[in-house]
Amino acid sequence: MTLAIRTCPTCDQTNRATDDFCPNCGASLAGVQSTTLPAARSLGFYVPVEQRFGARPKRRRDADGAGGGLLSLGLLTTITALLTSFGPPLGPAIWGGGLLLMVTGFWRMRHDHAAFNRAGIVTTAGSVFVLGVVVGQGIDFPEFPGRSDGKPAAEVPEPTAELDWGETSGTPTTTAVPLPLGAAPMFRGGPARIGEDPGPGPQGDPTLLWRADTAGEVYSSPAVVEGTVYLGSKSGFLQALDAATGEERWRFDLGEYIVRASPAVVDGTVYITGGFSLFAVNAETGEERWRVPIRFAGQSSPAVVDGMVYVSSHEGLVYAVDAATGIQRWQYQTDGLVFSSPAVADGSLYFGGVNGDLYALDAATGRPRWRFSTGGDVYTSPAVANGLVYVSSKNRVVHAVDAATGEPRWQFAAGGDSSPAVVGGVVYVGSDDGGLYALDAATGAVRWLYATGAAIRSSPTVADGAIYVGSGDALYAVDVNGQGKWRYPTKAPIESSPAVVGGAVYIGSRDGFLYAVGGTGVTAP
């Protein structure tokens, strides 16, 4: 019996002729001539080289194992930078260094399988995820034209001509809308977050009055005060636009962070969070009045009432700041992340946490009053009306809780990312199942359900006897009896919530535009 072998030219290891690579040093055996051993010697193939030949083999080339350490260090550095309150230039410098360490670690480990094993699949997967998050949030992809990239403008979407309700298409026009008779000064209409705007809404068929390019997806909801629309943008700016024409009046740089929070406009000042700061900006000129450092802002929108600004941060802190001076009065630390915008009513402040709890604090001191577990993550903002707090959680349940004690009154299986509106004894809430629900505010009983066919992540606004909400890639108008009035399409899904003032609906879309939608009928002067 014979055995065909190949001798590694790098380490002199004896290998089977069928091996393509030397298992000792990893060198390629391609092109190495095979030899044949007699039966007696073939048994020695399984004996280590040192015992068979009495010679010490050539030293195996050390694997470049430093890549795993660099990968782990880069992951730790990047996560630390993202979760701490370091602002520019220190914050971007830290996560940029972590990003470089991760890339270097991957490069050094590209041929070192042992190092990949030591680094571990969890660390590697985590690094890839963080890398994707940093790159995805740091780059503003030019998805839609008509921007600063010089590409031609996208076609303006027309209202759908053939719908179940039989409405007809409107014709886009640049005719100015009447100056707003009222105001929508902050997210959900006011500090109690009940979701009611003064209106009036559009009359007749939906008509595009104008649209403004924000240079990125719109997550912020507009505020409308004294003929000006205020909006945060993905590009990191607070913009002030003429409500009648959409022309930009000024813009204020909030830093290189996506602005998801909605502005609050009170007494000539715009309050908004961006990056690691709460800003106060002159509503007329766009000049900064003050700024207060906070932990990472996230999507919580300020509530302004009785000379105080209340806002929560992504990292679980709730702040109370003097509206005139920017002096912090108190802060409250939760045990989890917070995306919810606080609601303030009757001396109490209410907000939800990702840990599933609904909190009630004393608005003057920040001391806790009660805490209620919803059983699901709370990203939405609570609404306070009639002595009850209404909130929707991610497990698709709407809760009604006693505002004074935190005792549950009722719950209903709907909701998700849409904050409820409470007007006229009815709770209106959008749901992840694509339904707009009308519930009795006292009992939770269903009055009607309107199906949009797509998940509703926009929060409904009630004005002038109608409910306005974004669902999928369209703006819907539904009357208080649950009958559809009209819809107006955009080019991408809507997460922004509408403001309804002076015969127009103002709403942003992930297509990067802020829309002003009016009607063909006569509006109030």
Q: Which domain-ending residue is among 109, 138, 167? A: 138
Q: What is the DSSP secondary-structure string of 27-69?
A: -B-TTPPPEEE-HHHHGGGGS-HHHHHSSPPPPPPPP-THHHH
Give 6 or 90, the one with higher predicted confidence.
Answer: 6
The verdict on 317 and 228 lying in the same domain is yes
Tell whether the model's pLDDT for residue 242 goes beyond 90.
yes
Q: State the average pLDDT over residues 157-176.
A: 36
Residue 179 lies in a domain: no
- Expressed as residue numbers, the domain containing 23 is 3-53
| Helices and strands in the chain, H and E counts | 6, 35
The verdict on 446 and 482 lying in the same domain is yes
279: CATH = 2.130.10.10
The verdict on 500 and 376 lying in the same domain is yes
Tell me, what's the pLDDT at 30? 75
The average confidence (pLDDT) of the chain is 81
Tell me, what's the pLDDT at 38? 62
Q: How confident is residue 114, by pLDDT bands cut at 50, 70 and 90? A: low
402 three-state secondary structure: strand
Tell me, what's the pLDDT at 68? 63
Look at the block and give the residue holding tokens 């409904």: 460
Paired tokens of 121: 């699949």
Tell whether the model's pLDDT for residue 230 goes beyond 80.
yes
Residue 255 lies in a domain: yes
Q: Report DSSP state, residue 245.
A: T
Are 178 and 524 within 8 A, CB to CB? Answer: yes
Q: Report DSSP state, residue 387.
A: T
The verdict on 133 and 221 lying in the same domain is no
Tens-digit pLDDT profile for residues 141-150:
333 333 333 3
The verdict on 254 and 361 lying in the same domain is yes
The verdict on 45 and 72 lying in the same domain is no
How many of the other CB atoms lie within 10 Å of CB of 204?
A: 16
Tell me, what's the pLDDT at 127? 61
Residue 451 lies in a domain: yes
Tens-digit pLDDT profile for residues 364-421:
999 999 999 999 999 999 999 999 999 999 999 999 999 999 999 999 999 899 999 9
The verdict on 240 and 335 lying in the same domain is yes
Q: Which amino acid is at 297?
A: A
Q: What is the pTM of this model?
A: 0.68
Tell me, what's the pLDDT at 105? 73
Give the CA count within 13 Å in the CB-facing half-sphere of 359. 30
Residue 243 lies in a domain: yes
Residue 155 lies in a domain: no
The verdict on 302 and 423 lying in the same domain is yes
Residue 434 lies in a domain: yes
Tell whether the model's pLDDT for residue 226 goes beyond 70.
yes
Tens-digit pLDDT profile for residues 338-362:
999 999 999 999 999 999 999 999 9
Residue 90 lies in a domain: yes
d(CA 14, CA 18): 12
The verdict on 123 and 255 lying in the same domain is no
Q: Which amino acid is at 135?
A: V
Tell me, what's the pLDDT at 33? 78
Q: Which domain-ending residue is among 82, 111, 138? A: 138
Tell whether the model's pLDDT for residue 329 goes beyond 80.
yes
The verdict on 377 and 505 lying in the same domain is yes
Number of separate domains in the chain: 3
**Strands annotated E in 431-503:** 435-440, 446-451, 461-463, 466-471, 474-479, 484-489, 499-501
Look at the block and give the residue holding tokens 């904050």: 419
Tell whether the model's pLDDT for residue 162 goes beyond 50.
no
Q: Which domain-ending residue is among 120, 138, 156? A: 138
Phi-psi label, residue 324: left if phi above 0, alpha if psi -120 to 50, beta otherwise: alpha
The verdict on 322 and 461 lying in the same domain is yes
Residue 297 lies in a domain: yes
The verdict on 240 and 349 lying in the same domain is yes
14: which strand partners?
A: 7
d(CA 100, CA 98): 5
Look at the block and give the residue holding tokens 């922004």: 496
421: which strand partners?
A: 428
d(CA 43, CA 40): 6
